[in-house]
Structure 1
Amino acid sequence: MSKRRRTEEDEEKLSSEETSNGLVQRQSSRISLLPKELEPSIFGIQPTNDFVRVVSDFLYMQVGKENVEIEAKLGVLLDKTTRERIRLPVYCETVISPHEDKWMIFESNMTLEQHKSFNELLNKRFIETKSSSHKGQPVEYKHTYEIDKFYDTKGGRIRVTRDRKTGEIVEGGIVQKVRVADLNIYSPNTCLDYRISVNREIPREMPEGQHNFERNKDRLSYTHQIVKIDLTQVKVSDGGSQDLTHELEVEFINPRILLEEKLKIEKRQENKYLEIVEHFLNNIRMLAKSARL
């Protein structure tokens, strides 16, 4: 007698049969292995990204200071002895402990080719955000030519910044820049590392006497929401010699936004402190990943 061909009903019946110990004998191929909604964890919450937390804690200690500036610069972490890029036994971005980074230096420079590449990338993004089909916030663009003159005084070094075209001192252009703290990030999967710096730019009066050296800046600025990206060619003149460097930095347009969220944390109010820090990091990390050799 010929065997009857197994039907779909037979398959479904077989898939629902259970053995004596209650285990399903066979699962139907129609059942998806992935749930319709995947919860972040068994506890129903997603833990804070440790990388973001470390940077957030670093900035948390600094944002209450007056005249504070928060910026991140792309560059390379170099071994002080060999003058070559450091190599650490890690696979991904790593925050270097400030207590363990004395053997390295950060060089905030890049090649002319990298500078051109970033210029093209940011110009393209500027154009994209101006399109009628763009749904997000636009990128704004500004090209400035400035000259910094540095004066060494008894109270410290003072920087005076003027518009190269008009000769006028720019708004907030006379300051004493004081370094507060730095956090170095090694990025083994990109050709550039980066440093997050907190400085104070203290307003000063116009200094007397002659300046010691000057710095000419050809700067392209791209602003988006709460951050500004500066792509700058810097020519330093010191005693007749000139040195040309290329820099890229990301900074908060107004660091007070972090202070306001910090105060909410202290009052145990709902806040976006971590979200803001992550937004800041996303910009510098995306740029680092876009860097070419």
Structure 2
Amino acid sequence: MNPPSHDPTPPAAEPGQRPQWQRGHNGYALTIAVIIHIALLLAVLSWRSQVPPPNKPRSSQINIVEVKQPPKPPEPPPPAPKLPDLPPPNMPPVPELPPIEETKVEPVPQAVAPVVAVAPAPAPAAAPVIAPPPPAPPPVASSPVPPKLFEECGDSPDRKMIAEVFRLRPSFTTVKDIRRLKPIKTVCLAQLNVSPRKFTDGFPGLDVSEWFALDIRFTVNIPGDITMDLLLLSDDGAILNVDDEEVINNDGIHAPNPVMATVKLTKGLRNFRVRYFQGPGPDLALALVWKKPGAPDADYRYIPQRLLGRPPAAASAPG
């Protein structure tokens, strides 16, 4: 019997099993990989500890407080415009008063006592001499009473401007609303020359001083085609129309305020209409004047009386 021969070749591994030498090499590789990763981790940690942290933006809370500005004091109202000094129309000159002379009264002589003389009969006593009475002093001329601005139309044919008078409610603010009202009376005046004054002075000839309105109509006979600066001063509101066209609007409640407009006026009769209202105090005013364009303000004058006329019947109706 032959002894079994020794086969130097290792037996083949069974399927599904790894050789021993491969498992040994895989263990060494895994250990080396772990060591390398630990070294890299330590290097990264060491580097980050040396790098300074980035500057983070600082955040701060800011409260915006709006500072309230103190309210501005109200601006003072503009001073009332001054109407050019115009002479009042148709004002008679004030006569000078004659000097009053003092009259001396002569003393009355006493009766002379009779003189007794040796005569057949005594002489009669002389009659006392009495001086005549002094002459009466001349009458003192009184100052003329200012004429009324408004009179009854029938009693004053020389007053060419016809005005209808209206009473107003305290909430009235525009002259355009008088078309809804009925007039309480009709009066006439010679000129629109009411300079600024206290409302308590009123309009001479009217028994109202506030919350009233006037619708004034008249004609102006223009001698030729001209261009004029018309100025309407009022307190409170007023509107001027020429031939049914509005040329000056000074409406509303306000202090004495002048408004000017340059108007072309053709030859012939031009129909003028001024609607005016007086609201509350303390002042009132109503004046209409004109001048040539370019002339100084001192040349403003009232419309001459010779050019004024009463409106036709159709134009005097309210509307």
Q: TM-score range by the shorter chain?
A: under 0.3
Between 1 and 2, higher relative CO (CA 8 Å, sep ≥ 6) is seen in: 1
Q: TM-score, normalised by structure 1?
A: 0.23
- Greater percentage in strand: 1
TM-score, with length taken from structure 2: 0.22
Q: Which has the higher helix share?
A: 1
Between structure 1 and structure 2, the one with the greater Rg is 2
